[in-house]
Amino acid sequence: MRLADNAFDRGEYELSRSYIKTVKLTGIGKQSNVNLCYVYYLDTMCLIMLLQSKLQSNQVTPSEINELYSLFAEAEMLMTSEDSQEFLQVIEQQIHLFEKRTGYRYDSTMYEGNKELINYTCD
């Protein structure tokens, strides 16, 4: 996770996400000291930052929005403890800003437990 944090701090969001992916596969378990809520927080923030840079040139695709909103739905599901509420609040604020900037609204009923990509369209 330290590598992911460092890459995020340097603005290397793709690299940070690759480290996070490894942590999700190998670093989470009963014996792990990794904070699962923080893993999802950082992953969501990296993806938001990557998509923000694409907004200027209108290059955000529906599949990328699906990925973001699916990741957010997973984070919401995991972040139920009082300790994780600060992470969740920051992510929620960023999602609301993303919705305003893109016109793509998040609907939790579409992503809750949904494993398939949804063809999400602008209203």
pLDDT in tens, 49-87: 999 888 877 788 888 988 999 999 988 888 888 888 899
- Residue 116: pLDDT band (50, 70, 90) is very low
Residue 96: other Cβ atoms inside 10 A = 12
Task: Please state the length of the chain.
Answer: 123
Residue 26: other Cβ atoms inside 10 A = 10
pTM of the entire predicted model: 0.81
CA-based end-to-end distance of the chain:
38
CB 103 within 8 A of CB 123: yes
- Residue 32: pLDDT band (50, 70, 90) is low
Residue 79: other Cβ atoms inside 10 A = 21
